[in-house]
Chain A
Amino acid sequence: MAAENLRKSYETYLRRGLFNREKKVVEALKGVSFRIYRGEVFGLLGPNGAGKTTTVKILSTLLLPDSGKATVLGYDVVKEAVEVRRRIGVSLTVEKGFFWKLTGRENLMYFGMLYGMDGAELKQRVQKMLELVGLEELGSSDKLYEEYSLGMKARLSIARALLTDPELLILDEPTLGLDPPSARLLRELLIKVAHQEGKTVLITTHNMFEVEIVCDRLAIINEGIIVAMDTVDGLKDLVSEEITLEMLVVLPARVSLKQLREEISEVVSSRVEVDPTEEGTRIRVVMRPLEKEQATQEMLRRLHSMGCSVRRIEVKEPTLEDVFIELTGGK
Chain B
Amino acid sequence: MGLWTLLKSGLILDIYFFKNNRAQLVSMFAWPYILLTLMLGMGFLFGSAETFKSNVGVEADPVVFFVASTLIAMASLSVMWEVGGTVLYHRWIGTLPYMLIAPYRTSVTLVMSYIPRYLLWSFMQLAEFVPVLIWREGLVGGLSDTLVMGLAIVVGMLPLLGFAAIFGSFLLTIKEETNVLSWLNPIILILSGAFYPAYLFPIWARFLSILLPTTYTFELARLSSLLGAPKLAEMTFLIAVLLGMSFLYNALSFTLMGKAERRALKSGAV
Contact = CB atoms under 8 A, between A and B. Distances in A.
A110 B21 CA distance: 17
Given A92-B97, A96-B93, 18 more contacts: A60-B101, A61-B100, A63-B265, A63-B270, A85-B102, A90-B97, A90-B101, A96-B94, A97-B94, A97-B98, A99-B16, A99-B95, A101-B21, A109-B12, A110-B16, A114-B6, A114-B99, A115-B102
Given A61-B101, A99-B93, A100-B93, A114 B20 contact: no
A114 B110 CA distance: 11
Interface of B: 1-2, 4-6, 8-9, 12-13, 16-17, 20-21, 93-95, 97-104, 109, 113, 262, 265-268, 270
A118 B98 contact: no
A86 interface: yes
Contacts of B12: 109-110, 113
Contacts of B8: 113, 118
Given A101-B17, A114-B6, A62 B270 contact: yes
Contacts of B93: 96-100
B5 A113 contact: yes
A10 interface: yes
Contacts of B17: 99, 101-102
Interface residues of A, number: 37
Contacts of A111: 98
Contacts of A225: none
Contacts of B266: 63-64
A243 B5 CA distance: 59
A95 B21 CA distance: 22
Nearest to B104: A82
A10 B265 CA distance: 11
A301 to B, nearest CB: 58
A144 B99 contact: no
A116 B13 contact: no
A85 B103 contact: yes
A57 B96 CA distance: 13
B16 to A, nearest CB: 5
Interface string A147-171: 0000000000000100000000000
Nearest to A54: B268
Interface in A24-44: none
A72 B113 CA distance: 27
Contacts of B262: 64
Contacts of A92: 97
Interface in A71-108: 82, 85-86, 88, 90, 92-93, 95-103, 106
A274 interface: no
A293 interface: no
Interface centre among B6, B103, B109 (most CB of A within 10 A): B103
15 contacts: A10-B267, A54-B268, A61-B101, A64-B262, A82-B103, A82-B104, A90-B101, A98-B94, A99-B13, A102-B13, A110-B12, A114-B102, A115-B103, A116-B6, A117-B5
A279 interface: no
Contacts of B104: 82
A160 B94 CA distance: 14
Contacts of A110: 9, 12-13, 16
A11 interface: yes
A92 B94 CA distance: 9
